[in-house]
Amino acid sequence: METESVKYSTFEAAGRLFGVPLIDIKEITAETNCTCIPHAPECVRGYVNIRGNIILGLDLKRILALPTKEEDVSKRMVIFKSTVGPAFGLLVDEIGEIVSVSSQDITSDSTSIGAELQGMSGLVQNICRLPNQLLVVLNPRKLLPIIEKELIQPSR
Amino acid sequence: MVNTPHADFVLESREHLQLFERSMLALEKAASPEARIDCIDSSLRAVHSLKGNAGFLGFQTVQRLAHAIESVLENFRNRSNSPPIAVVEAILLASDRLSSMIEDLGFSESHDISELMKALQALAVDAGDPVENTPKNVIQVNLRMPLPPASVIPLLDSLRTLGSLRESQLTQVDLQTSTANWSVAELRLQGRLHTDRSVIEVQRYLSQTGATVPWRDLGAIEISGLNAQQLQQHLAAVRGELVYEPNRLDLGLPVQPIVWNQATSDLPRQPIVKIAMSPTNAPENILPKPIQPVDETVATTPPVKTSSNEPVIHQESIASEDRKGIVSKPTGDTTKSSPSEKTTSLRIPVDLLDRLMNLVGELTLIRNQSLLAFEGIEGTSRAVIQRLNSVTTELQDAVLKTRMQPVGHLFGRFPRMVRDLARQLGKQVELVMIGQEVELDKTVLEQLSDPLTHLIRNSIDHGLETPEVRIRSDKQSVGRVTLSATAADGQVIIEIRDDGRGIDPNAVRDKVLALGLKTEAELQKISSKELYSYILLPGFSTARQVSDVSGRGVGMDVVKTNVERLEGSLTIDSAPGIGMSMILRVPLTLAIIPCLIVTVGKERFAVPQRGLEEIVCLHPGGESSIEHSYDSELLRLRDVLLPVVRFSEALRCKSTFCAETKLAILAKNSPADRDPQRIEYILVLRSKGRKFGLLVDDVRGTEEVVVKPMHPSLRKIGIFAGATLMGDGRVALIANIDGIAEHADCYGVEPPENSGMLRRDPAEVHRVLLFEFGLKELFALPLVQVRRIESIAMNQVEFIGDQAFITIDGVSTRIIRLDKFLNVSTCEQSPMMHLLLPKFVKEPVGILVSRIVDTESLSTHLQEASIEEPGILGTAIVRERLTLFLDIQYLRERIFGRARALSTSQSREVDLVGSPQVKATLDVVPHILLVDDTPFFREVVRRYFERDGFVVTTAIDGNDGMRKLAEGDFDLVVSDIEMPNLDGWGFCQAARKAGYKTPFMALTSLSKIENSARAIECGFDGFEEKLDHDRLINSVRKMLGLIAEEQQDGN
């Protein structure tokens, strides 16, 4: 039982480590050239052309309201499978390694992370203890609903 | 689709059934035995294949029913007469049942078909030969008449009453030699009249009907000087179809040179005679021009002989047996020649095509990138790239074509519908379909189905008259509905035309007037087409008066919406009494649309060209420029004022434009600040029948873009229709013209006044309009108190004594010059000034304003009042200037006096404080606790109350209110709702909990409808809107019991 492990693809945003289940990812691309979409919520960076397919790029830092520094440019986009949601991806700063976490190191208790990440409508799925840091596991299925909600009732 | 044998079976069966139905309908009209047998054979084949497949797959019920149908048909195969209507009806009913069983294959076995079977079996057995009515005489008829023969049809009608005309041929004589003049060309009608009467009788009969059948006049019809319209009518009389050059005629807009397409069922089919008609000729000059037979066969050999198995006259059976019968006919005449029967094709799932389409899109991009990369490089690689270029383009075309389907697929369902509808309504209808081979994108085709169905129903239901009415108005008893499709300029034009009663323009006009959509004078100017477009409005659609008179309208707005969703348009034309035509224009495909590429800021946007009328380029110093009206920018384009929407602002502002946004935009773009070097580009766009200008930074050119829909999560964004990939690989957004017009509210209507019901943006309450009158002072008025701002020409001001008036909206409006009432500087008069019309003031007054400065958020800058000056509520530092807040009520009372200002309270004549009567009834002056967090409103309302003689204590929020409640003794609490710390709801609840029985009134900018329930729940006794002075004071008085007491005093 304790040998069971889950693979996560990790990435960095604003200096923090995040991860999503590896099986949800279609591809990771370096193409982050966005066309801004007026009227879309703040956390939508825009449309990205990935080999003729138009992908909606969301900005993780803006979704989580993480501090954005000048030098932090989103260098990669994590594109999800269509089972997660239609044609969308998450813009992140850096791509990390793929980690295997055994189930005993995974907790759904989110008290150990910063207050700003709590209460993101279930976006934070789990917390994993890695040897030298904590990995915040996100549920990518919760990303698009955040956008839709934002469009109906803007927070600002 | 799951590719199971059953799925294939369903698909195939659908085709079989369609073919079957077509053949049956053709059979109904087939006259010659050969045509009949053809029809029966073709239906037999279809039903037989279906039966075989069903048996193979084990669908026994389907098989049994199909077999029964087959048996009935077999029985009629070798008869000389066509099956009676009842039989056809029963067979069609059975085939309907078959079709529903096949659509619901899983439950096909549970269908109860026993009754149908019984009926069919009875028909199969009983189909013993009916007694043939052998005619006594067969008379050879041989007539010659000039073309176009207006009398052919009446003549045929007469012959029909005598007997049946068989093997008839209508041919043109000497067309080749006589093309120089229409009047020489002749038609020859030959045939055999099967009749019970003698030759003498027939001749006598025909001569008796001389009035309608100019028997003796044949050959003497004057047709010289005929114009195109008359020609059309003449040709229509032979049931041909004349398609003519646009703009030649008033009715309809077909696009090709004249084609006489004799799609008639009465007359033998002939090769189409094409008559080239030069569009440059005036109609009067058309006829003397030589007529060029375009069709080779016509030109070389006179079409004396038409193939013998073509149907000749096949209306007798229907006409005599059932006067309500209809004749409907696809142009693909007999089923044998129907192209759809031969359709041999592969079935390809649509998703595969979509994927192919995407891949081609990608390839196009690679091609574009390669072109860029190899630009300027000579050598072999260049040739390769060019080859790649051309192959890609061809591939794209080919793939697009795979999505195209002939409109015949869609039209195919209409003959049956028309037949059933006509029978049901007791009308005789002939449906002519033209251009079934025109191709349209699959998605467009699918979405056209409902609108077309609706329009055809409309034509038959409301447009066509009953046979009796038609005969009375000298029309043929059979009404005709023509459904035609033509392709032109990347669009497909589908026209539904009928020769019914048309629309009565006067009825529409009356209705437009009644609804107040236009004034009489405006109506004089608009064209008839514009007028008819009103019947597409939702209000018209439900108006029975119009549809009773004109026979149009129900649900037309739905049709229009559907068509507009397809990026198409719908126009209507009509000639009262002659008929009407509805023209649908839809794009060939939705996948690729031509767009204009524009830039705003750094971004490119694609604007669909379909909605584009023209591009106006405003050069600095040019004649035209953007003008300002009270709240919007306007472009004067050839004396028509169009609202101008700045695309940049529409993109920037996320919420639909409100009055405040518009004023802010106006302030930002005042004509004085305009960059003199800048060229302004304005796209004149059409949205929902109205035009507006869209101002963009630059126009780059046109491009055919591949449309990708917006991401599903972003569908709520109305201003975009989709996205596309540009040549450089970047994504560009495609503008939604209607969405932008809506977003910018550019045809905005003023909301009804005093509508506390309307939900208003709370932020608006806290915004003020800044304006100047004299040179020194800056004035402010809350936006909620502003009704609108009007530009006025000072030379139109009239004076009565020293009072100035101007007419606005037909009302003489008193102009308030602030320097006359307040101690403020006077202003230099300029020819054009602004007039600020305040809200919540019943009397027509306006404040004269020399300049509108801006709008500003109030809460940030306001300071407590520091100047005690009547008419000034307080001051604030706004933009580093001392700003005076006007007291509108003061000004109003200075002008009209108190009594009139409060005319709604009936008997009040004297000031409350000064009135000994009122004083006598009250022990103390009423004491009001006013709770509001905004200093400005606190001040305004406090002044209202104090001026009315009340004592007012103020509190800044709910907590403060609770403290004040404990300290004093109040007769009434008036509280704002939206406050920091403790809001109005909480405040009232807390007060009620603490046992205070004082009446509470909510005073807020929130909507009354949505919040009144909550107000009662929290313990409020009243609910009023901020800043409506009269209502507020009246309510307060009512709550204090003052009005009732005064009325008693008055008695």
- Is the CB of A86 less than 8 angstroms away from the CB of B712? yes
Q: What percent of chain B has pLDDT over 90?
A: 1
Q: Which is higher by pLDDT, A153 or B541?
A: A153
Model confidence at B175, pLDDT cuts 50, 70, 90, reads: very low
The pLDDT of residue B675 is 67
Nearest to A56 among B362, B652, B713 (CB): B713
Q: Report CB contact under 8 Å: A47, B359.
A: no
Give pLDDT, residue B203: 59
- With a cut of 80, say whether residue B274 has pLDDT above it: no
Tell which of B840, B874, B898 closes a domain.
B898
- Residue A78 confidence (pLDDT): 93
Contact A39 B651 (CB under 8 A): yes
Higher pLDDT, B608 or B323: B608
Q: For residue A147, list chain B residues with Cβ-Cβ distance below 8 A.
A: 713-714
> Sign of the C-alpha dihedral, residues B556, B559, B561, B563?
negative
**In CATH, what number is assigned to the domain containing residue B393?**
1.10.287
pLDDT at residue B654, as a whole number = 82
CB contact under 8 A, B723 and A86: no
Q: Is the pLDDT of residue B979 over 50?
A: yes
Report percent pLDDT > 70 for chain B: 66
Q: Give the residue on A whose Cα is nearest the Cα of B743.
A: A39
**pLDDT recorded at residue A113:** 64
Cα dihedral sign for A7, A9, A13, A16?
positive
Judge if B842 and B781 occupy the same domain.
yes
Confidence of residue B598 (pLDDT cuts 50, 70, 90): very high
Inside any domain, residue B176 = yes
Nearby residues of B379 by Cβ (< 8 Å), 6 or more positions away = none
User: Does any domain span residue B337?
Assistant: no
The mean pLDDT of B268-281, rounded to a whole number, is 33
For residue B552, pLDDT beyond 50: no
Greater confidence (B404 vs A44) lies with: A44
At residue B261, the pLDDT reads 41
B355 touches chain A (CB under 8 A): no
Question: Does the pLDDT of residue B608 top 50, yes or no?
Answer: yes
Q: How far is B991 from chain A (nearest CA, A)?
A: 32
Q: pLDDT band at residue B590, thresholds of 50, 70 and 90? A: low
Q: Which of residues 651-680 of B touch A (CB under 8 A)?
A: 651-652, 654
How many angstroms separate the CA atoms of B226 and B246, rounded? Answer: 18
Query: Rg (Cα) of chain A, in Å, rounded?
Result: 15
Question: Given this model, what pLDDT does residue B162 score?
Answer: 64
Q: Is the pLDDT of residue B900 over 70?
A: no
Checking DSSP bridges between strand A88-92 and strand A76-80, what pairing results, if any? antiparallel
- B343 within a domain of the structure (yes/no): no
Q: Do the chains contact at A36 and B603, CB–CB below 8 Å?
A: yes
* Banded model confidence at residue B231, pLDDT cuts 50, 70, 90: very low
Q: How far is B375 from chain A (nearest CA, A)?
A: 22
Name every chain A residue with its beta carbon within 8 A of the beta carbon of B712: 86
Please state the φ and ψ torsions of residue A22, each to the nearest 5 degrees.
-60, -35
The whole-angstrom distance between B1001's CA and the closest CA on chain A is 30
CATH number at residue B830: 2.40.50.180
In this structure, what CATH number is given to the domain that contains residue B720?
2.30.30.40
The tens digit of pLDDT for each residue in B689-718 reads: 678 889 998 888 887 787 888 888 888 888
Cβ distance of A38 and B723 shorter than 8 Å: no
SS3 label, residue B877: strand
Q: What is the mean pLDDT of residues B65-83?
A: 75
Q: Tell me whether B597 touches chain A (CB under 8 Å).
A: no
pLDDT of residue A46: 92
Residue B281: the pLDDT is 34
Q: What is the mean pLDDT of residues B350-354?
A: 80
> What average pLDDT does the segment B167-180 reach?
42
State which residue of chain B sits closest to A148, comparing Cα positions: B713
The residue written with tokens 């009055």 in the block is B659
| Domain annotation covers residue B17 | yes
CB contact under 8 A, A52 and B651: no
Q: Is the predicted pLDDT of residue A74 greater than 60, yes or no? A: yes
B327 lies in some domain = no
One domain for residues B854 and B927: no
Q: Do B733 and A35 lie within an 8 Å CB cutoff?
A: yes
* For A55, nearest residue in chain B (alpha carbons): B711
Q: Are B891 and B901 in contact (CB under 8 A)?
A: no
The ipTM assigned to this model is 0.90
B-chain CB neighbours of A44 within 8 Å are: 714
Instruction: Say if residue B242 is in the same domain as residue B386.
Output: no
Q: Which residue has the tokens 């079409």?
A: B303
Contact B720 A37 (CB under 8 A): yes
Domain boundary among B132, B154, B182: B132
Output the domain CATH number for residue B50: 1.20.120.160
Contact between A39 and B365 using a beta-carbon 8 Å cutoff: no
Torsion of CA B237, B242, B244, B248, to 10 degrees: 10
Q: What number is the average pLDDT over the span B245-262?
A: 33
Q: Is residue B451 part of a domain?
A: yes
Whole-number pLDDT of residue B198: 60
How far from chain centre, in Å, is Cα B71? Answer: 49
Confidence check: pLDDT of B801 > 90: no
CA distance B655 to chain A (A): 8
Per-residue pLDDT band for B1048 (boundaries 50, 70, 90) equals very low
Whether B913 and B983 map to the same domain: the answer is yes
pLDDT higher at B863 or A45? A45
Confirm whether B344 is domain-assigned. no
- From the DSSP assignment, how many helices (H) and strands (E) are in chain B? 36, 41
pLDDT value of residue A20: 92
Which parts of B457-589 are beta strand (E)? 479-488, 491-498, 569-575, 579-587
Question: Residue A80 — pLDDT band, cuts 50, 70, 90?
Answer: very high
Question: What are the tokens at A34?
Answer: 């966005």
Contact B731 A54 (CB under 8 A): yes
Give the pLDDT mean for B274-286.
33
- The CA distance from A103 to the nearest CA of chain B, in Å, is 33
pLDDT of B767 > 80? The answer is no
Are both B411 and B397 inside the same structural domain? no
pLDDT of A47 strictly over 90:
yes
Same domain (yes/no): B532, B447: yes
Q: Judge if B874 and B814 occupy the same domain.
A: yes
Is B364 part of any domain?
Answer: yes
Does B331 score more than 60 pLDDT?
Answer: no
- Asked if residue B228 has pLDDT above 70, the reply is no
Please judge whether B714 and A152 are an interchain contact, meaning their C-beta atoms are less than 8 angstroms apart.
no
The band of B747, judged by pLDDT with boundaries at 50, 70 and 90, is low
B341: which 2 tokens? 């029967």
Residues B441 and B552 in one domain: yes
Residue B166 confidence (pLDDT): 55
Q: Which residue has the higher pLDDT, B713 or B667?
A: B713
Residues B10-32: tens digit of each pLDDT? 888 888 888 888 888 887 777 77
Task: Check residue B226 and give its pLDDT.
Answer: 31
User: Does residue B495 surpass a pLDDT of 50?
Assistant: yes
pLDDT of B766 reads 62
Q: Give yes or no: residues B394 and B418 share one domain.
A: no
Question: For the residues B877-898, what does the mean pLDDT come to?
Answer: 76
User: Please, which contacts does A23-28 make with residues 24 or more away whose CB atoms are closer than 8 Å?
Assistant: A23/A81, A24/A80, A24/A81, A24/A83, A24/A84, A24/A140, A25/A78, A25/A79, A25/A80, A25/A81, A26/A79, A26/A80, A26/A81, A26/A82, A27/A79, A28/A76, A28/A77, A28/A78, A28/A79, A28/A95
Give the pLDDT score at B538: 63
- Res B69: pLDDT: 84
Among B279-288, B417-426, B446-455, the minimum mean pLDDT is found in B279-288
How is residue B105 annotated by DSSP? G
| Nearest of B573, B557, B574, B555 to residue B565 by alpha carbon | B557
Q: Can you tell me the mean pLDDT for B901-930?
A: 50
Q: Where are the domains positioned within chain A? A: 5-152
What is the pLDDT averaged over residues B973-993?
84
Give me the total of CB pairs closer than 8 Å, taking one residue from chain A and one from chain B: 71
Query: What is residue B676's predicted lDDT score, i.e. its pLDDT?
Result: 66
Please tell me whether residues B466 and B564 are part of one structural domain. Answer: yes
Q: What is the mean pLDDT of chain B?
A: 69
Say whether A35 and B729 touch across the interface (CB within 8 A): no
- Contact flag B731-A148 (C-beta cutoff 8 Å): no
Its CATH architecture, for the domain A5-152, is Beta Barrel (2.40)
Specify the CATH number for the domain of residue B455.
3.30.565.10
**How many C-alpha atoms does B690 have within 13 Å on its Cβ side?**
15
Residue of B712, B731, B733 lying closest to A49 (CB–CB): B731
The verdict on a CB contact (< 8 Å) between A54 and B362 is no
Residue B547: strand, helix, or coil: helix
Strand B778-782 with B881-886, pairing: parallel
pLDDT (mean) for A39-65: 87
Residues of chain B neighbouring A35 (CB-CB closer than 8 A): 603, 723, 730-733
The shortest C-alpha distance from A111 to chain B (Å) reads 29
Which pLDDT score is estimated for B219? 28
d(CA A152, nearest CA chain B) in Å = 8
Interface check B304 vs A, CB under 8 A: no
Q: Which domain holds residue B618?
A: 592-743
Q: Where does a domain end: B898, B926, B956?
A: B898
Whether residues B389 and B457 fall in one domain: no
Q: What is the pLDDT of residues A18-41, one digit of tens each?
A: 999 998 999 999 888 889 999 898
Whether B248 and B312 map to the same domain: the answer is yes
Buried b (16+ CB within 10 A) or exposed e, B599-614: bbeebbbbbbbbbbee
Q: At residue B47, what is the residue type?
A: V
